[in-house]
Structure 1
Amino acid sequence: MSRQGGSGRGKQMPREVVLSKALSHLLRHSADRENLKISKEGYVNVADLLEARKIKPLKVTLAEILESVSSSDKQRFSLLYIPATNTETESDKTKTQQEEEERKEEKLAFTTAASEEKQKNATVHALSVKDGDASHFLIRATQGHSMKCVDTTLFLEKLTLDGDVENSNDKSATAVSLPDTVVHGTYHGAWPLILASGGLQAMNRAQVHFAIGPTIDEIFPNGRDAPPAKLPATKQNQNVISGMRSDAEILIYVNLRKALQAGCPFYRSENGVILSEGMVSGDTDQTAGKSVPVEFFDLVVERKAGLGVLWEDGNIVQELPENLAAKKNPKSFRGGRGGRGRGRGGHS
């Protein structure tokens, strides 16, 4: 059984946490390297998943997979149910016939999950089905992918200035409002590097992740002149379902409308995370890669040491003390901006 590091060194993690971490890693980062068949929408057949190198030793059951989906605190996974389409026994079919049927079933399932609402309904339906055949279920991570074989735009809602949802697979999607708060959580050691590079980069993930809370008013309940509030864990979990680690030390608030106006794309995942691969800035070397530029940062707040506002409306309000800027980020923290884990990641 896996063990926790750091302050939890030597303490065994609960089986459900071990499984959730293993599923997240496979479905976000390594399914292709594990030779698992994965669709461009990110789906893997659960029967294949149970035979994966990092899953099989745990002797995981279909019931445990379904429980991981239903109990995920951050709605990390989506399910599709693809029942057999006829009564012909498997032994009566040729391998070619079986493969052709599987392709048809999966194509139908992917079409069914073309929009956020359909994806949510598909997961609810799959969890309600009484079927013990793992091959009749497909599973994927809702966000956080780094595999190039997965096209995240196929299952993310594209946000627009007028609040319309654009989706390449579902042109009938209804309009939704843009989130009022878009915030990226990071760590002390990352902030100087973000400034130096001119923005947030996705690095080893497909997109930079943002949460829809906490709001600025929640961080400063007593005004900007007072130290920022350290929200209790229950409050954090209530407002940040996913998209940011709860122990983030620095919060970067982004002006979503200004970014969209400039052509920087943003998406919303099924579990409410806001994502962006960024854009190539006009004054940036085209080979430097995309980023969400600092020009879209409304406010940057240091909340762990009580420093408060570091950046506001394009100006540095105060420098981060050297002892904090030199701190190393958590080992589980990946993505965001540049090298050494400068951004957002971990099991979120």
Structure 2
Amino acid sequence: MDVAGAAAHRPQAAGDTGLSRALAFVLRHGAARLGIHIGADGFVPVDAILGHRQFRRYTAQDVQRVVQTNDKQRFTLRAHPHTGALLIRANQGHSVQVEELELEPVEEGRGNVPAQAVHGTFHRHWPRIRAEGLRRMSRRHIHLAAGLPGDTDIISGMRSSCDLAIFVDLRRALSDGIPFFLSANRVILTPGDGDGVLPPRYFQKVLQLKPTRCLLPLSGAE
């Protein structure tokens, strides 16, 4: 049975922040660099991580606590089906090749198209994004949230420090053949088009969050 962040709304202890960040780096990007094998499904044995010198001061209980208290539910824990060994996976954000993340395709026929899809960013990036669109960069997906930070039931998908929110016309993009997926912690993910881009024509509106101000109209976004 998977043990996701069932207690994720409890505040994470300050001392666990470093472990959480280190786990995120290894599971999303750096496993091979540390000589740790990451499975096709994204899972890594917890013992393999704890055996590396960078993690030797931590225990399996520390890892479980970090997973359970992570407010973004970034990780999933489960027991190996045969050996019972504890495994951990990052739910999204990978730059490494991971084929079987249990991503749920977003499709009209499934009835799972979110009412909103919002990408959080910073005002300084807006001129480039407005001209070129959203790029997945070194990651495998562009990340979107199903709402704004602070909205009910929005767990992850946008940093709380973002000062700009780009609302994406999800149905229009889907109808044009751009795939979208839902991760285990309900982040909306897309690889973009063939060039790894979500073009500006799919932007519905842009909201400046600090202070709140709508930046529409998006003249020239087409």
Residues 310 and 316 of structure 1 are in contact (CA less than 8 Å); yes or no, is this contact kept in structure 2? no
2:175 and 2:123 mapped to 1: Cα distance?
30
Distance (Å, rounded) in 2 between the aligned partners of 1:60 and 1:211: 32
Matches within 5 A, 1:1-348: 14-56=14-56, 59-82=57-80, 136-148=85-97, 150-151=98-99, 154-162=101-109, 164=110, 176-197=111-132, 199-214=133-148, 236=150, 238-280=152-194, 289-306=195-212, 308-312=213-217, 314-315=218-219
Count how many residue pairs are aligned between Structure 1 and Structure 2: 209
Provide the identity percentage.
38
CA drift at 1:54: 2.4
Q: Please tell me whether the aligned partners of residues 161 and 261 of structure 1 are also in contact (alpha carbons under 8 angstroms).
A: no
Distance 1:245 1:53 in 2: 30
Is the Cα–Cα contact under 8 Å of residues 104 and 182 in structure 2 kept in the other structure?
yes
Answer whether contact 1:34 1:53 (CA < 8 A) is retained: no
Cα distance in 1 for residues equivalent to 2:170 and 2:39: 31
Per-residue CA deviation, residues 285-314 of structure 1 (Å, 9 max, x unaligned), is xxxx221111111111112144x22234x5
User: Quick check: 2:131–2:200 contact (8 Å CA) kept in 1?
Assistant: no
For residues 70-123 of structure 1, what are the alpha-carbon distances to aligned partners after superposition, in whole Å with 9 as ceiling and x for unaligned?
A: 11111111112126x5xxxxxxxxxxxxxxxxxxx5xxxxxxxxxxxxxxxxxx
CA distance in 2, matches of 1:74, 1:62: 20
- Amino acid across the alignment from 1:44: V
- Contact kept? 1:241, 1:272, Cα under 8 Å: yes
1:264–1:278 CA contact under 8 A, matched in 2: yes
> Normalising to structure 2: TM-score of the pair?
0.87
Match of 1:130? none
2:4 corresponding residue in structure 1? none
Judge conservation of contact 1:144–1:206 (CA < 8 Å) in 2: yes
Contact kept in structure 2, 1:80 and 1:138, CA below 8 Å: yes
Give every structure 1 segment of 4 or more consecutive aligned residues whose post-TM-superposition deviation is greater than 6 Å.
Answer: none
Aligned Cα root-mean-square deviation (Å):
2.0
Greater Cα shift, 257-266 or 135-144: 135-144
- Secondary structure of the residue that 1:54 maps to in structure 2? helix
Q: Could you list the runs of 5+ residues in structure 1 that have no partner in the other structure? A: 1-12, 86-104, 106-134, 165-175, 215-234, 281-288, 318-348
Say which structure is richer in helix.
1
> Larger Rg: 1 or 2?
1
Partner Cα separation in structure 2 for residue 237 and residue 141 of structure 1: 23
Cα offset, 1:238, TM superposition: 4.0
Q: Matches of 2:147 and 2:170 in 1, distance apart?
A: 13
Q: Partners in 1 of 2:47 and 2:18 — Cα distance?
A: 19
Whole-angstrom CA distance in 1 between matches of 2:87 and 2:153:
29
Query: Distance between the aligned counterparts of 1:316 and 1:305, measured in 2?
Result: 24
Q: How far has the Cα of 1:316 moved from its partner?
A: 6.0
CA displacement 1:223-260 (0-9 Å, x = unmatched)? xxxxxxxxxxxx71745310001121111000110000
Residue aligned with 2:34, SS: coil
- Indicate conservation of the 8 Å contact 1:210/1:275, yes or no: yes
What is the TM-score when the length of structure 1 is the normalising length? 0.57
What secondary structure does 1:205 align onto?
Answer: coil
Gaps of 5+ in 2: 1-12
Give yes or no for contact 1:32–1:147 (8 Å, CA) kept in 2: no
Partners of 1:304 and 1:242 in 2: CA distance? 19
Tell me which protein shows more strand as a share of its residues: 2
